[in-house]
């Protein structure tokens, strides 16, 4: 009898067909599952491919006695309670890699658009307000030659840093653990304490995973340290920033501007932020290209195939987050 798997959102048809070579596959083609609906669906499943932002915790898997693997089609996994799944002996994987360059491209798009006030100027034209020379109305700040500070020097942080060379920028980074010297040289980046980075950087980019220890890593105190001319960019996870503190800092012009692709309670946004002229907001689309989304879904499928004992990596999925489950 084939093992059964569930895919929480539609993925490309050829990936579904690949999975059908090994499993009996169910795809949720309708609206996003509620927590209770997902818990019920998982009772009959051996594996789960999380193709959205579904929350998986101890309650979700309480009756899922057959469940052996939960594989995510994304690099981030803050919606998954890895500790609870590990305790239950369930393999958890993510999909690092496919989104690295795409997210880095988008980050630079946000940096340039915010620094040069492109969105504001575009709205001005589209709304029919351009009747005469605008003069200094949309003066922004240069990107080239400035200091880029990156908090989180994983794959995405490194991809962002490498692009700094073309803009003749000084690149500094802060990370939980200093990266190897070879990586620093490849990225032309220097390690700095968090305080030094916030104090010196013209652009502060958040590219680190969300954990309990990183909750509101940018709060009132950090915003006070930053340059008044600094621009804050977040393409990682919303919970990294205290949005109320950020709105206040922007209103008080303690920092110059911010660009956010992620939010703590998304799709809800802290009410004051959309009303501010010096903030650029996008709907969590940094990884939003067809190529990247296909790559993420494909990586998640390969992990699930391996986690459930098939393919060249049988029982050794490439991106396992809790290898200790094998001890169980």
Residue 264 appears among annotated catalytic residues: no
Active site residue 144: no
CA atoms within a 13 Å half-sphere pointing along the CA-CB vector of 286:
32
Helices within the chain (DSSP H only): 13-20, 35-42, 82-87, 100-115, 118-126, 155-163, 181-187, 194-200, 220-225, 243-251, 290-307
From the number of C-beta atoms within 10 Å of its C-beta (0-12, 13-18, 19+), residue 120 rates as middle
291 is catalytic: no
Question: Per DSSP, what are the bridge partners of residue 218?
Answer: 241
Q: How many CB atoms lie within 10 A of CB 94?
A: 25
User: Catalytic one among 237, 243, 290, 291?
Assistant: 237
Among 266, 275, 290, 291, which one carries the catalytic annotation?
A: 266
DSSP 284-327: S-TT--HHHHHHHHHHHHHHHHHHTT-STTTT--TTBS-GGGGG
Show contacts of 312-319: CB within 8 Å, 24+ apart.
317/69, 317/71, 317/91, 317/93, 318/93, 319/93, 319/94, 319/95, 319/96
Which residues are catalytic, by number?
A: 237, 266, 284
């Amino acid at each position: 009898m084939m093992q059964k798997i569930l895919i929480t959102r539609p993925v490309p048809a050829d990936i579904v067909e690949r999975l059908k070579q090994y499993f009996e596959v169910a795809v949720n083609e309708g609206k996003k599952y509620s927590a209770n609906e997902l818990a019920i669906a998982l009772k009959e499943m051996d594996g789960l491919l999380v193709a959205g932002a579904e929350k998986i915790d101890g309650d979700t898997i309480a009756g899922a006695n057959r469940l052996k693997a939960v594989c995510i089609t994304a690099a981030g996994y803050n919606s998954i309670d890895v500790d609870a799944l590990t305790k239950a002996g369930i393999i958890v994987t993510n999909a690092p890699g496919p989104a690295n360059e795409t997210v880095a491209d988008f980050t630079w798009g946000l940096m340039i658009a915010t620094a040069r006030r492109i969105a504001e100027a575009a709205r001005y034209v589209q709304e029919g307000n351009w009747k005469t020379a605008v003069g200094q109305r949309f003066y922004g700040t240069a990107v080239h030659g400035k200091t880029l500070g990156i908090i989180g020097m994983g794959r995405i942080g490194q991809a962002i840093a490498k692009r700094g060379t073309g803009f003749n920028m000084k690149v500094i980074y802060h990370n939980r653990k200093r990266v190897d010297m070879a990586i620093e040289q490849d990225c032309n980046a220097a390690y700095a304490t968090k305080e030094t980075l916030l104090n010196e950087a013209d652009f502060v980019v958040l590219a680190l995973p969300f954990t309990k220890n990183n909750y509101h890593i940018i709060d009132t105190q950090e915003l006070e340290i930053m340059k008044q001319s600094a621009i804050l960019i977040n393409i990682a996870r919303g919970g990294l920033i205290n949005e109320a503190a950020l709105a206040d800092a922007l209103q008080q012009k303690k920092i110059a501007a911010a660009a956010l692709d992620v939010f703590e309670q998304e799709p809800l946004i802290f009410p004051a932020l959309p009303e501010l002229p010096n903030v650029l907001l996008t709907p969590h689309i940094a990884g939003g290209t067809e190529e990247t989304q296909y790559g993420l879904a494909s990586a998640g499928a390969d992990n699930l195939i391996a986690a459930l004992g098939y393919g060249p990596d049988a029982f050794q999925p490439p991106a396992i987050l809790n290898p200790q489950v094998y001890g169980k």
